[in-house]
Structure 1
Amino acid sequence: MTEILLRTGVDMVDVNKLTRMIELTGEEFLDSSWTRAERLYCAGRPERLASRWAAKEATMKALGQGVGQISLLEIEVTADEGEMPDLVLRGNALDRAQALRLETWSVSLTHEDRWALAFVVGVGSTPHGQHQ
Structure 2
Amino acid sequence: MIGIDLIKTSRMNRLMERFGDKALQKFLSSQEIQLIKNYKTASGFWAVKEATSKALGVGIGNECSFHDISITKTQKGAPQIELAEHIIQKHNIQDTSVSITHDGEYAIAVVAIQTK
Q: What is the TM-score when the length of structure 1 is the normalising length?
A: 0.79
Unaligned runs of 5+ in 2: none
Match of 2:23 among 29, 33, 45: 29
Mapped to 2, the partners of 1:28 and 1:76 lie a distance apart of 17
Unaligned runs of 5+ in 1: 1-6, 126-132
Mapped to 1, the partners of 2:104 and 2:75 lie a distance apart of 20
Q: CA RMSD in A?
A: 1.6
> How big is each residue's C-alpha offset from its partner over 1:49-71, in whole Å with a ceiling of 9 and x where there is no partner?
10110000000001111222222
Structure 1 equivalent of residue 109 of structure 2: 118
Mapped to 1, the partners of 2:18 and 2:77 lie a distance apart of 32
1:56 aligned partner, one-letter code: K
> How big is each residue's C-alpha offset from its partner over 1:46-102, in whole Å with a ceiling of 9 and x where there is no partner?
111101100000000011112222221221111146332110112xxx423322212
In structure 2, the CA distance between the partners of 1:74 and 1:100, relative to structure 1 (3 Å rule), is closer
Correspondences of 1:1-132 after superposition (within 5 Å): 7-43=1-37, 45-69=38-62, 70-80=64-74, 82-90=76-84, 94-125=85-116
Aligned length: 115
SS at match of 2:60: coil
1:124 aligned partner, one-letter code: T
**2:99–2:110 contact (8 Å) kept in structure 1:** yes
Larger radius of gyration: 1
Mapped to 1, the partners of 2:90 and 2:25 lie a distance apart of 28
Mapped to 1, the partners of 2:57 and 2:92 lie a distance apart of 13
Q: What is the TM-score when the length of structure 2 is the normalising length?
A: 0.88
